[in-house]
Amino acid sequence: MTALHMSISEEHHFWLANLRDHACLIRDHLSPGEDTWLELAEQYRMHFEQLLEEAQWMRSKQQEDQGEAVEFAHRAQAAAYGYFRFEGRMQHLRLHNQVELQLTPSSLNSSLNENQEYLRLLYYWSRGESAPHLPLADLTGLWLESLLGAASRLHRALDETEHALAQQASLIKRQLQAQLLKNAAIRGYLRFTPEGFPLQRSFMEEVSQAAQQCADFSAHLTRLHREGRVTNSCSLQHLLHVQHEVRHFLNRLSAYMHAERNSFPG
């Protein structure tokens, strides 16, 4: 893995694109009769798109202006928190079958967790401060859950005739499920063992390989989808979204491992 430094404006660009895609997912899975919620989801999509354009402009500048960066973080924070409450409301209504949304309540947990991570970062950026990194086990848990949800959606989206591809998706799902269980065990070990012990370091390599396999599978489906050589209900945007998330996760994981390598015991 090669670590790539990300500026705050680049981080904004990733997270806002992520939230825009989440808003699209909600919009596209709502029943046409859910006018109020459809309108809200589209409003958030448009808002994130506008903020993305501003983040792109900030990225293009040679040097980030501190005052401008803080002001932008405040606006991004308001948008992200508003959407967090909206998506949480969708989950609540779905739990009680009070909204026609073709997503399960548990499938929204990972997107809510990702939003919370962006809000955590924004808490510091809106004060002009650097945000501390997530503990390694938390970082891994966040993105393993997200990738498991993505792999599950890819599996469900495949036509029943796509047996070979469905088998690949199922294998990736089982691998991610097993790694989530192992990561939970590692969280327990950290009560009395410092972070970065050999087992955890070895596990990070396993996780990075599984994440790359998920990205490769999504990229393969993307090529088949564009060429009309696969029957599925996935949108091109969702397929690209999976790859977008994996790239970010692998970069964060690589940056963490490089930064902490000298401090790891053993």
- Give 93-138 pLDDT, tens digit per residue: 999 999 999 999 999 999 999 999 999 999 999 999 999 989 999 9
Three-class SS state of 170:
helix
Greater model confidence, 6 or 83: 83
Res. 247: pLDDT tops 50: yes
- Alpha-carbon separation of residue 117 from 81, 195, 228 (angstroms): 11, 20, 36
Q: How confident is the model at residue 264 (pLDDT cuts 50, 70, 90)?
A: very low
Looking at this protein, which amino acid is placed at residue 225? Answer: H
Pair 73, 126: CB distance under 8 Å: yes
The confidence score (pLDDT) of residue 255 equals: 82
SS3 98: coil
Residue range 197-221: mean pLDDT, rounded: 95
Asked whether the beta carbons of 42 and 106 are under 8 A apart, the reply is no
At the top level of CATH, the class of 1-132 is: mainly alpha
**Domain 134-266 belongs to what topology?**
Ferritin (1.20.1260)
| Range in 4-8, 156-160, 179-183 the model is least confident about | 4-8
**Poorest-pLDDT segment among 3-12, 135-144, 145-154:** 3-12
Which H or E element spans position 140? helix 136-157
Q: 249 is written with which tokens?
A: 């996760």
Gap between the Cα atoms of 188 and 204, Å rounded: 16
The boundaries of every CATH 1.20.1260.120 domain in the chain are 1-132, 134-266
Residues facing residue 101 across a β-bridge = 30
* CA atoms of 254 and 238, how far apart (whole Å): 24
- Quick one: average pLDDT of 138-155? 94
Are residues 146 and 114 in contact, defined by beta-carbon separation less than 8 angstroms? yes
Say what the pLDDT of residue 2 is.
45
Question: 44 exposed, middle or buried (CB, 10 Å; 0-12, 13-18, 19+)?
Answer: buried
Angle between helix 8-29 and helix 236-260 axes, rounded to 10 deg: 150
Interacting residues of 77 by C-beta distance below 8 A, sequence separation 6+: 119, 122, 123, 126
The predicted model scores a pTM of 0.92
What pLDDT score does 66 carry? 83
**Least confident span in 22-26, 138-142, 151-155:** 151-155
Task: Give pLDDT, residue 1.
Answer: 41
The confidence score (pLDDT) of residue 261 equals: 58
